[in-house]
Structure 1
Amino acid sequence: MLPNNQLVSLIESRIPGRSLPQPFYTDAALFERELELIWERQWLFAGVAAQIPKAGNWFTLEVGRSSVVVIRDRTNAIRAFYNTCRHRGSRICSGGKGSAGTLVCPYHRWTYGLDGKLLFAKEMGENFDTSDFSLKPVHCESVEGYIFISLAEKPTPFEHFREQVSPYIKPHGLGDAKVAFESTIIEKGNWKLVLENNRECYHCTGSHPELLRTISEFDGPTDPRFGGEYAEKCERDEARWTAAGLPFKPIETDEGYRLVRVAMERGLSFTMSGELACKKLLGSNQDEDVGSLRLLRFPNTWNHVLSDHAIAFRVLPLSATETQVTTWWLVNADAEEGKDYDLDNLTAVWNATNVQDQRLVEVNQQGINSKGYQPGPYSPLVERGVTEFIDWYLGTLQADLQQTPRIIPVECIEA
């Protein structure tokens, strides 16, 4: 594992305003430190409540070395546990998702309730106390249909985030939505390249013709390209949202999340025509043009919520040069496929955009792997989002390093 002093030296070697030195995108030892200092300490987006609408529904996700199972219990609460049996450590839930009345370890049949309590363990002796061997819980919080987990022993407070974002998301009723489609892509690139690519639209004109049928390349007056007819539409839309009580003003914090409602430049929804993808709108809102509500939270999610559907994205690192990207399309729970929405029409824009982004990330990774790579300058005009992410990333590493004992290489320890 990369020692603290070497990691600090790498952080200090980064030139402000430029991309990161090569090891940040390629080095396996540095990747292991990221798992420890970021992925095992931060709040992570796990998925959407619509994945587990009924008691006993569960799904799993891999966070570094740990498998986590997220489940809805009999009280309708959403819980998370390490997917590890308390007997001899076998993985309990196999596969990505399922439904069960109890969780049964396939090895020796230890059986757990949906609340994680051990219900049955055969032949363990009369002094064996099942209450001592519940599944190990993972911190879990739900916010208006979004599920977050933290592997930290004492995670950072979550309530302020909930209070900030809930008023924006609540009108869309995502807690009562359903998953219309799910896709997972394995991108052969570092997870930070996936986030960097998401944080700028510098590349959009040349790469995302489907996406730009409806949205603007920029989302506010801080972008030098903002103005003209689009700025006028923003004013009209914001006045209508104000009258309807729909929040839209940006929430930007140094806590690693951002939320804003952005006007569509053309059309109503993310479709090739710009028309609605689903006849039944989400939640209590009846306005067909509510723009795109965008929720970003580092290190692993961005989201778009429109009037008729929502798209949620989850990023999980697999190795220093491999990343899993999962996308969910959510619609009104009462909407019927083939009647209220056509699946190909619903998914066409972001399926195309995901494939395009995958290609961009993988070509980016290939170039960074080269001996010829040197950190290049970010555009101060149109890549501010990338700079903000990198600043958050380095700041988080530095803050967590201060709480981590110094690691001394074995060869430096005196006998």
Structure 2
Amino acid sequence: MLTESEIRSELAARQENFSLSNALYCDPGVFQTDLEQVWYREWLFAVPACELPKPGAYATMQVGAYPVVVIRGKDMRIRAFHNVCRHRGQKLCAHANGSTPNLVCPYHQWTYDLEGKLIFARDMGEGFDASAYGLKKVHCIDLGGVVYICLAEVPPPIADLAKTASSYLTPSGLSDAKVAFSSTIVEKGNWKLVMENNRECYHCGGSHPSLCRSYSDDPRRTAISGPDAANPEITNHWKRCEAASLPSRFIAGPRLQWRLMRMPLLDGAESFTMSTKAAVTKRMGTIPFNDAGSVLFYHYPNSWNHFLPDHAITFRMLPISPTETEVTTNWLVHKDAVEGVDYDLKALTEVWLATNDEDRRVVEENQKGILSPAYEPGPYSTIQEEGVIQFVDWYCATMTDRLAPKPAMAAE
């Protein structure tokens, strides 16, 4: 296992515009440091808010060593807590999701209300102060229908992202959506390989025949610093959408940690379907036409998303081990859309189910190759893999900043 000083050396030795070393993808010490310096400190996408439609609805997630439960309270506010009983540490909620009037520990039945207050603890004797044993809170915010959490004691600023995301996502009416289908897979690859694979379409033509019916693999359309402003197809699309009160233009956060823009699909396509037509007849929110394209929204370290006129697709990535990553995909439709009437589930999900499995295979073979003693970092294409370069630069800069030696205290 590499030490922090050895990790700093690996980061410093990386050649510009080249992939990372074997150790930075595979070493257990690097993985633990990734957890501590990235995953335990950044805002993470947790769930679409509509996955928790009523008080008591909850979802769980495992972030490294931390089990977390996200739950909607009686006041309809969504909160997050460490999924750990304050009695003897039992996990409160063992299932991925569910609904409950209160959070009850299965071990000794300590009971917490939906706001995390301890309301029942049997036979604890005189002097026991229940108010001192509420659930430990996790920072939680709803960004216009997508819920984020942060495990840090003091989370990084999120006001700019919250304002921007809410503006871009409000037309999709996510508060009036529901989860039509959910899929969770485990990819046998490092989390950085999963994100790298998502950040380019260099591989799309050879790997994703279904997706390429509607999504262009032209890097000029999805350039990390914004699409070609001289491309009339894109600029005219933005003007048309903005005239219909749909925020569209490229916007990004510091170090491009997050980005939003509304992108037209390929050749007038309406949705990610085999027919390229809308999968759902009942549109989302206030979007007035089927060919409004997709709002592309990514946020490092763990999410990329598509918000289309007929449905939305959210993607959440969580690290499991140095060479395993969990990817959860949710397909959202209007809450009043009826399966078999307003949409066919196969038509809705088949493109991204296939694409996710194709990506899984790509990542797993990529990981196998990097584990080989023959592997050495190779050059990225500055034309096709600009997004990968930017992500790896963000990762390296973030880790370098956070692992920088602390200045020694001056002697008095």
Whether 2:278 is the aligned partner of 1:272: answer: no
Residues 78-93 of structure 1: pairs in structure 2 closer than 5 A: 78-93=78-93
Match of 1:342 in 2: 344
Q: What's the counterpart of residue 286 of structure 1? A: 288
Distance 1:227 1:148 in 2: 27
Query: Structure 1 runs of 4+ off > 6 angstroms?
Result: 403-406
CA apart distance, 1:27: 0.8
Shift of 1:220: 4.3
Find out whether 1:386 has 2:367 as its counterpart.
no
Structure-2 residue corresponding to 1:217: 217
Q: 1:403 to 1:390 in 2, by over 3 A?
A: same
CA distance in 2, matches of 1:180, 1:109: 33
Task: Give distance in 2, aligned partners of 1:404 and 1:187.
Answer: 36
Correspondence for 2:202: 202
Q: Distance in 2 between matches of 1:329 and 1:403?
A: 44
1:206 CA drift (Å)? 0.6
Corresponding position of 1:410 = none
Q: Percent identity?
A: 49
Alpha-carbon separation, structure 2, partners of 1:242 and 1:314: 28
Q: Secondary structure of 1:353's partner?
A: helix
Alpha-carbon contact 2:259-2:299 (below 8 Å) kept: yes
8 Å CA contact retained: 2:187, 2:364: yes
Aligned counterparts of 1:404 and 1:243: Cα–Cα separation in 2 = 51
Match of 1:108 in 2: 108
- Supply the distance in 1 between the matched residues of 2:87 and 2:60 (Cα, whole angstroms): 20
Tell me whether 1:364 sits opposite 2:355 in the alignment. Answer: no
Structure 2 gaps of 5+ residues are none
User: Where does residue 161 of structure 2 map in the other structure?
Assistant: 161
* Contact 2:112-2:134 at 8 Å conserved across structures: yes
1:297 aligns with 2:299: yes
1:242 aligned residue: 242
Question: d(CA) in 1 for partners of 2:120 and 2:407?
Answer: 40
C-alpha distance 265-329 of structure 1, shift in aligned 2 (>3 A)? same
Residue 293 of structure 1: CA displacement? 0.4
1:245–1:130 distance in 2 versus 1, CA, 3 Å:
same
Cα-to-partner distance string for 1:340-380 (whole Å, 9 max, x where unaligned): 00000000110110010000000000000001100000001
The alignment partner of 1:15 has SS state of coil
Instruction: State the 1:2 CA deviation.
Output: 3.8
Q: 2:328 aligns with which of 322, 326, 329?
A: 326
The residue aligned with 2:259 is: 258
In the alignment, which residue of structure 2 is the partner of 1:187? 187
CA contact (8 A) 2:220 2:227 kept: no
The alpha carbon displacement at 1:235 in A equals 3.9
Which residue identity is paired with 1:350? W
1:71-102 per-position Cα deviation (integer Å, ceiling 9, x unaligned) = 00000000000000001111111110111001
Q: CA deviation at 1:160?
A: 1.3
Instruction: Say if 1:233 and 1:265, in contact at 8 Å, map to a contact too.
Output: no
Higher mean C-alpha displacement, 365-374 vs 156-165: 156-165
Q: Secondary structure at the match of 1:312?
A: strand
Amino acid at match of 2:272: F
Q: CA, structure 1 residues 197+222, in 2 after alignment: closer, same or farther (shift >3 Å)?
A: closer
Distance 2:363 2:192 in 1: 10
Q: In the alignment, is the contact (CA less than 8 A) between 1:19 and 1:376 conserved in 2? A: yes
More divergent stretch after superposition (250-259 vs 197-206): 250-259
SS in 1 for 2:179: strand
Instruction: Show the counterpart of 1:400.
Output: 402
The offset of 1:321, in angstroms, is 0.2
Residues 222 and 53 (structure 1), Cα distance of their counterparts in 2 relative to 1, 3 Å cut? closer
CA distance in 2, matches of 1:293, 1:318: 29
Secondary structure at the residue paired with 2:148?
Answer: strand
Aligned-pair Cα RMSD in Å:
2.0
Asked if the contact 2:244/2:288 (under 8 Å) is kept, the reply is: no
Matched to 1:99, the amino acid is S
**What CA distance in whole angstroms lies between the structure 2 residues aligned with 1:404 and 1:261?**
42
Pair 1:137 & 2:137 matched: yes
Query: For the residues of structure 1 that align with 2:71 and 2:303, how far apart are their CA atoms?
Result: 20
What do residues 47-80 of structure 1 show as CA deviations (whole Å, max 9, x unaligned)? Answer: 1111110100001000001100000000000000
Cα distance in 2, alignment partners of residues 179 and 149 from structure 1:
20
Unaligned runs of 5+ in 1: 407-415
The residue type paired with residue 300 of structure 1 is N
Match of 2:150 in 1: 150
- Amino acid in structure 2 at the alignment position of 1:325: V
1:254 is displaced (CA, Å) by 2.5
**Match of residue 412 from structure 1:** none
Distance 1:347 1:4, change over 3 A: same
CA distance in 2, matches of 1:321, 1:403: 28
TM-score (norm 1): 0.94
Report what 2:41 is aligned to. Answer: 41
